[in-house]
Structure 1
């Protein structure tokens, strides 16, 4: 069963985020707190949404996503920030169910794109995404400014 996350799920979501960070070899990179996630997902102006996959009432994984926008199509898209399935639930169709669910939301909302990033070394995930119909955008490279560099750029020193 896939369902929309609620405020009561924030602790579970943060646990999954930490597990995902450990899997992605960045166990100390998570600085989010339950309070920050609760505000981001359920505050006055939600920045993202999350859905949870459950089996027998036990959370098996989640997808966290938000809307982006394409000037070329003039319509919104959906960006998948995180997709995580617990190790014991992998290989049981949970990831596919989560992807199909979010894709369904994108279609129902009139979105023209559903996209996400994947680490180059995560061959299993890349193969899974290809089986789901995803196409790698090899001609695009993600750019990021964060931390002190973001502060310098904002101050005009970039």
Structure 2
């Protein structure tokens, strides 16, 4: 493996979908959530490169190998009256860790947020993931104490939607 100067970041293209799917599987295993990973290549192709892309991906390559990725999308702050960048997933393959790839991905996303005039850059982290929390603190991130993520999905989402009526 080469040193960090051989790391290249680039936007993903449709041909990268299989590699992105593999990275997502690696992340799901790391987060102990492999049982929840049901996305397919077709799902990602439509979501990332369809007529209305829902997210973007920056890939990190090292010596021609895909080493990691950041998947993000636009959020919006009503209080700021401006969009924000929301990082959904950040993952570096274990054999490429310790080379500054995660830091490079995070600084690239921060730069994109600033270039695009966004008011914030946010993400969630699992509360047991101390290495990630420590890494994010080293970047200047701060926890949003007092906020808890809420989710409605699966059958509960369908049931809630059914209440919409006409």
For normalisation by structure 1, the TM-score amounts to 0.98
Structure 1 gap ranges (5+): none
- How many Å apart are 1:57 and its aligned residue? 1.0
Q: Which residue of 2 aligns with 1:13?
A: 20
- How many Å apart are 1:128 and its aligned residue? 0.2
User: What is the distance in 1 between the residues matched to 2:159 and 2:109?
Assistant: 36
Q: Which residue of 2 aligns with 1:89?
A: 96
Listed as ranges, the matches of 1:15-54 within 5 Å are 15-54=22-61
Q: Which residue of 2 aligns with 1:135?
A: 142
- How many Å apart are 1:82 and its aligned residue? 0.3
Listed as ranges, the matches of 1:48-127 within 5 Å are 48-127=55-134
User: What is the distance in 2 between the residues matched to 1:134 and 1:126?
Assistant: 9
- How many Å apart are 1:29 and its aligned residue? 1.1
Output the aligned Cα RMSD: 0.9
User: What is the distance in 1 between the residues matched to 2:17 and 2:84?
Assistant: 25
User: What is the distance in 2 between the residues matched to 1:76 and 1:17?
Assistant: 25
Structure 2 gap ranges (5+): 1-7
- How many Å apart are 1:156 and its aligned residue? 1.4
Equivalenced residues, count: 157
For normalisation by structure 2, the TM-score amounts to 0.93
- How many Å apart are 1:66 and its aligned residue? 0.2
**Structure 1 ranges of 4+ moved more than 2 A:** none
